[in-house]
């Protein structure tokens, strides 16, 4: 879009209009040369392809030694194999300075999950219903990738990685592994399908944390008011086909966005003058622990006109502590990367409303309408000691986002126009 519109991508003889890595000037007065590529030969001859093969499978054994006990063991796999193929032609564009450029690498992502549970469902005195679940879960994820990058075609007629090339370098090298071990339990009780309470607790241990263990729990309660006598005596059951109050409070953990080896400081390997090298590449944190959230959620749901109109109203507040952030360090520290730390806290709070209506339900025609509304306020309440602001830069070194106490996380920080 920056090229003069009178420049043709082809010469009069049908060949590509190129001048080295750039497009030819086409004898335009006052323009001796242009630094932009001719996009047409790149579209014709370059490629960047990925082929993915995905395998998902599971098998389980389930036993019921007695009517109210269920034992289950589930084993599943999720394998994703990715093959990448990249080629830049040697005649112009990105591959011109290399006299041809090609990369091929393969990555194998493997996930294994083994889940063992015992569930007890028992009803006594007709109206008391109890469900107890205990279990153990193990999850292992591995990543393995390797490939080659080749530069300088010995025969320009070829465009495959298997052809003759002058320079060969490793490409797409990767190795990763993480493991999660979880033990959990859940208790559910309801009286006469009218009053509901539930509690759960779990212990998770994750290999990619310095302090691997985290204990999390939650509790909730619900009340079906439309089953109460006073509800029907007031005639409200003729209006509401269902009406339930609910509330919950719980603590959960988060590890999203961290690498497999965050507790460790690592070195990267390379070549210099034909000799192998090691370079300090990343800083770890052996004290890194779970980011935690304590969430309160209250609301109610209802149904009108035999569930032709249903709705849900809820309010929540989520207090997040031990935020995992890669905290910027002063250049004078000489560190090669920003170490991950549990540095601060923030909250999210808001409300949600949803309404669903079955307007028409005929044999050959139905019409359903939905309405949703949600609001959320996010505010950072603490950062790391001595750290007043965290700024985020783009690849062009422009600072367009920053995080400060009293503001939302990563809010826009730009010139007001």
In the structure encoding, which two tokens stand for residue 252, read together?
A: 């959960």
Match 């086409």 to its residue by tokens.
26
CA distance 57 to 252: 29
Confirm if 328 and 263 have CB atoms less than 8 A apart: no
CA distance 240 to 307: 8
Match 């007031």 to its residue by tokens.
234
CA distance 266 to 340: 13
Confirm if 376 and 318 have CB atoms less than 8 A apart: no
**For 240-288, how does the pLDDT look when each residue is reduced to its tens digit (9 = 90+)?**
888 999 999 999 999 988 899 999 999 988 878 889 899 999 999 999 9
Decide: helix, strand or coil at residue 119. Answer: strand
Phi, psi of 318 (to 5 degrees): -120, 110
Q: Average pLDDT per run of 10 along the chain, which is 417 residues long?
A: 84 92 76 83 96 98 95 98 97 95 97 98 91 97 97 94 94 94 96 93 96 96 90 83 94 91 89 88 93 96 89 96 86 89 93 93 91 96 85 76 91 86
Nearest to 380 by CA among 326, 334, 323: 323
In the structure encoding, which two tokens stand for residue 371, read together?
A: 């309405």
In the structure encoding, which two tokens stand for residue 7, read together?
A: 């420049």
Secondary structure percentages of the chain, helix, strand, coil, to 5: 5, 60, 35
Nearest to 69 by CA among 115, 117, 121, 116: 121
CA distance 70 to 135: 12
Confirm if 298 and 351 have CB atoms less than 8 A apart: no
Confirm if 199 and 187 have CB atoms less than 8 A apart: yes
- Whole-Å CA distances, 269 to 4, 176, 265, 273, 316: 45, 16, 14, 13, 48
CA distance 410 to 346: 12
Q: Could you tell me how many residues make up the chain?
A: 417
What is residue 166's predicted lDDT score, i.e. its pLDDT?
95
Cβ atoms within 10 A of the Cβ of 41, count?
20
Strands 309-321 and 291-304: what pairing? antiparallel
CA distance 222 to 48: 54
**For 115-152, how does the pLDDT look when each residue is reduced to its tens digit (9 = 90+)?**
999 999 999 888 999 999 999 999 999 999 999 999 99
């Amino acid at each position: 879009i920056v090229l003069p519109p009178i420049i043709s991508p082809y010469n009069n003889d049908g060949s590509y209009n190129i001048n080295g890595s750039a497009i030819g000037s086409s004898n335009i007065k006052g323009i001796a040369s242009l630094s932009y590529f001719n996009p047409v030969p790149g579209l014709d001859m370059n490629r960047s392809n990925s082929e993915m093969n995905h395998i998902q499978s599971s098998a389980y054994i389930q036993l019921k030694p007695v009517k109210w006990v269920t034992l289950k063991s589930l084993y599943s796999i999720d394998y994703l194999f990715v093959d990448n193929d990249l080629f830049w032609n040697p005649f112009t564009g990105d591959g011109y300075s290399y006299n041809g450029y090609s990369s091929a690498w393969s990555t194998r992502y493997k996930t294994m999950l083994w889940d063992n549970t015992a569930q007890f469902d028992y009803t006594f005195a007709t109206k008391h219903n109890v469900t107890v679940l205990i279990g153990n879960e193990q999850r292992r994820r591995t990543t393995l990738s390797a490939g080659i990058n080749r530069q300088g075609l010995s025969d320009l007629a070829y465009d495959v990685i298997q052809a003759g090339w002058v320079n060969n370098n490793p490409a797409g090298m990767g190795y990763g592994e993480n493991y999660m071990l979880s033990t959990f339990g859940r208790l559910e009780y309801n009286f006469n399908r009218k009053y509901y309470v539930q509690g759960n607790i779990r212990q998770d241990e994750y290999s990619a944390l310095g302090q691997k263990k985290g204990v999390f729990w939650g509790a909730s309660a619900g009340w079906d008011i439309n089953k109460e006598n006073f509800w029907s005596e007031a005639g409200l059951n003729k209006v509401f086909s269902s009406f339930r109050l609910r509330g919950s409070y719980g603590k959960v953990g988060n590890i999203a966005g961290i690498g497999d080896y965050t507790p460790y400081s690592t070195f990267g390997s390379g070549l210099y003058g034909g000799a192998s090298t090691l370079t300090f590449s990343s800083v770890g944190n052996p004290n890194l622990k779970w980011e935690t959230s304590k969430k309160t959620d209250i609301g109610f749901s209802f149904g009108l006109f035999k569930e032709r109109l249903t709705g849900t109203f809820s309010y929540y507040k989520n207090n997040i502590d031990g935020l995992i952030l890669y905290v910027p360090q002063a250049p004078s520290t000489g560190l090669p990367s920003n170490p991950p730390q549990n540095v601060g806290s923030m909250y999210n709070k808001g409300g949600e409303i949803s309404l669903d209506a079955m307007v028409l339900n005929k044999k050959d025609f139905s019409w359903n309408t939905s309405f949703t509304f949600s609001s959320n306020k996010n505010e950072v309440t603490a950062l790391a000691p001595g750290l007043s602001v965290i700024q985020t830069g783009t690849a062009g070194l422009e600072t367009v986002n920053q995080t400060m106490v009293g503001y939302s996380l990563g809010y826009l920080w730009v010139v007001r126009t």
